Amino acid sequence: MDTSAVQVPRNNLTAAQLHSIDIAVRTCASVSVLACILVIGCYMFSRRFHTPLNRLIFYATWGNILAHLAELIARSGPRAGETSSLCRFQAFFIQWFTSADALWNLCIAWNVYLILFRHYGLPELRRLEWRYFILCYGLEFVPAMVFLFIETESKGRVYGDAIAHIPEQPGDESYSSLETLPELADLRRRQSLANIIDFERRLRASTEGQEKKARRLSLERHNAARAYAKFASIYFVSLIITWVWVAEPLL
């Protein structure tokens, strides 16, 4: 395994802190993998979960598992070397499936719209699933694969160690000192107070007719909003179960 070409950038983290990051990332990723397994098991062994929205969550969960498996590698990938198969495998899967999960969320929200406002049934929704696969997994596969082969002499590979130290610029200290000047702080307080007073004045200026109009519009939309909130709440709970967000390790 070639590690001679790896140059780990300087950073302010100690070895103990980096080890703590590894533990935190792997712990959170393990919990997420268990949650994904639970979602897959519930869908496969209980027909009560066979709904259009749960089907998309089921499809997205497979990508989540692969992304979390890459996160379980943590910093072992960069330590193996930027040219190692482990490092490239980890970067490829994180790039592919982490981005795909966001697109699956978009497809789930689109399905909610079709069900509530377009009255789509199960047959119509299933005919859209192959398009969702192409959008979520096929589209994100292209950049993930292309990045494997991009390399320049000046910057090296796209996939590699991403730990970077950003030095403090000389002007940062002077700027921060300006932020603490008493005159500037007092000016900001006066501006904030003026904004609050202006907001209260505008609020009192609202007419009774405008309030009645807003109340009428709110009543007309109440039924649709209640139905949408029901499905959105179910989706939100399902999303928490299927995917606990894990910060990408310092690669």
Let me know if residue 222 belongs to a domain. no
Relative orientation angle of helices 52-73 and 15-45, to the nearest 10 degrees: 150
Asked, for residue 217, whether it belongs to a domain, the answer is no
Residue range of the domain that includes 155? 15-164+227-242
Give the separation between CA 131 and CA 142, rounded to whole angstroms.
16
Q: Are 150 and 158 in contact (CB under 8 A)?
A: yes
Q: Are 5 and 83 in contact (CB under 8 A)?
A: yes
From first to last of its 251 residues, what are the pLDDT tens digits of the chain? 333 344 444 457 788 888 888 899 899 999 999 999 999 999 999 888 888 889 999 999 999 999 999 989 888 887 887 778 888 888 899 889 988 888 999 999 999 889 888 888 889 999 999 999 999 999 999 999 999 888 887 877 888 666 544 444 554 444 444 445 555 555 566 666 666 666 566 666 655 556 666 666 555 555 555 655 565 566 555 555 544 443 344 33
Q: What is residue 217's predicted lDDT score, i.e. its pLDDT?
A: 59
Residue 193 in any domain: the answer is: no
Residue 145 sits in a domain whose CATH number is 1.20.1070.10
- Based on the structure, what is the number of domains in the chain? 1
The residue length of the chain stands at 251
